[in-house]
Amino acid sequence: AIQQTIPAPDKRLREPTRSEFIQLNAAKQFPLQSQALALDYRDEVENNTELLVTAARQQEIQCWQHCLQNAGLSPDVIDIAPCALRYMAAASGLSTEHILVHRLESEWLWASPLNTPFRYGLIPLTEDIFEQLRHAYPAKRDQALKIYHSSIIDEQPPANTIIWSLFSAFKQFQPPLPALPMAFTLAGGLAIRIADY
């Protein structure tokens, strides 16, 4: 899935004109033909002048839906990992000024600070994560980056990163607790995702 922001339409537009306006503007942002894409949008959390548009290939969504139906599951929402990371960070009460970094099996997933427009990326483990993030944030090139770290692997975090606990988002716990709670960061973010309705 790919995400982009587009200007929000004038509040005076009503359905179905509003949806048509959004679909046409969103289609201009993505390289594939709009018929091959499933487009969804929601208001940016900190900014009501923009919409966050998610585009995914229809074929991939149908493949996932078929797989889930075969398992007896019917999802209400499909979302992407960087959003889940931001949902969990927001629910945990983390500072809104820190970049979020989550260690996956073969790469780093990063997401922009909560107080900035949504951005994300993947960094191979073979590359210097700090150097890559400085490329993403050139204005902070001469400053120490503020980074929250989570991981699916039990390992020493990179120097100058802050480990955080997703448990701070929950009031009750049911034993047994996982041995490596941060491995469930993305799942937790999807579980506490704010509803669209």
pLDDT on residue 102: 97
Over the stretch 75-117, which tens digit does the pLDDT of each residue have? 877 788 998 999 999 999 999 999 999 999 999 999 999 998 7
Q: Say yes or no: 8 and 59 in one domain.
A: yes
Q: Which tokens belong to 113?
A: 């600070």
pLDDT on residue 84: 92
Q: Say yes or no: 98 and 49 in one domain.
A: no
- Domain membership of residue 51 (yes or no) is yes
Q: Which tokens belong to 150?
A: 């989570």
Which of 14-18, 29-33, 80-84 is predicted with the least confidence, judged by mean pLDDT? 29-33
* Residue 7, domain CATH: 3.30.1490.300
Which range marks the domain in which residue 152 is found? 81-191
Phi first, then psi, for residue 132 (nearest 5°) are: -65, -40
Q: Say yes or no: 66 and 85 in one domain.
A: no
- What confidence category does residue 195 fall into, taking pLDDT thresholds of 50, 70 and 90? low
Give kind and range of the element (H or E) at residue 70.
Answer: helix 58-70
Q: Say yes or no: 95 and 6 in one domain.
A: no
Q: Say yes or no: 64 and 95 in one domain.
A: no
- Domain membership of residue 186 (yes or no) is yes
Residue 77 contacts residue 35 (beta carbons within 8 Å)? no
pLDDT on residue 196: 58
Extended beta strands in 13-157, E state: 37-43, 50-57, 99-103, 107-111, 120-124, 147-151
Q: Which residue has the tokens 């480990």?
A: 163
pLDDT on residue 197: 42
- Domain membership of residue 47 (yes or no) is yes
Task: Please identify, among 37, 70, 103, the residue that sits at the C-terminal boundary of a domain.
Answer: 70
For Cα atoms 118, 122, 123, give the angle at the middle one, nearest 5 degrees: 130
Residue 121 contacts residue 108 (beta carbons within 8 Å)? no
Q: Say yes or no: 53 and 116 in one domain.
A: no
Q: Say yes or no: 60 and 117 in one domain.
A: no
Residue 45 has pLDDT above 60, yes or no: no
Q: Say yes or no: 53 and 102 in one domain.
A: no
Over the stretch 142-163, which tens digit does the pLDDT of each residue have? 788 999 999 999 999 999 999 9
Name the domain count of the chain: 2
- Domain membership of residue 16 (yes or no) is yes
CA distances from 80 to 50, 98, 156 (A): 19, 20, 26
Q: Say yes or no: 117 and 170 in one domain.
A: yes
Q: Say yes or no: 85 and 58 in one domain.
A: no
CA gap 68, 74 in Å, rounded: 6
Q: Say yes or no: 46 and 119 in one domain.
A: no
Q: Which tokens belong to 70?
A: 């075969």
Task: Please identify, among 36, 70, 104, the residue that sits at the C-terminal boundary of a domain.
Answer: 70
Q: Say yes or no: 186 and 126 in one domain.
A: yes
Task: Please identify, among 46, 70, 94, the residue that sits at the C-terminal boundary of a domain.
Answer: 70
Q: What percent of the chain has pLDDT over 90?
A: 43
Residue 98 contacts residue 83 (beta carbons within 8 Å)? no
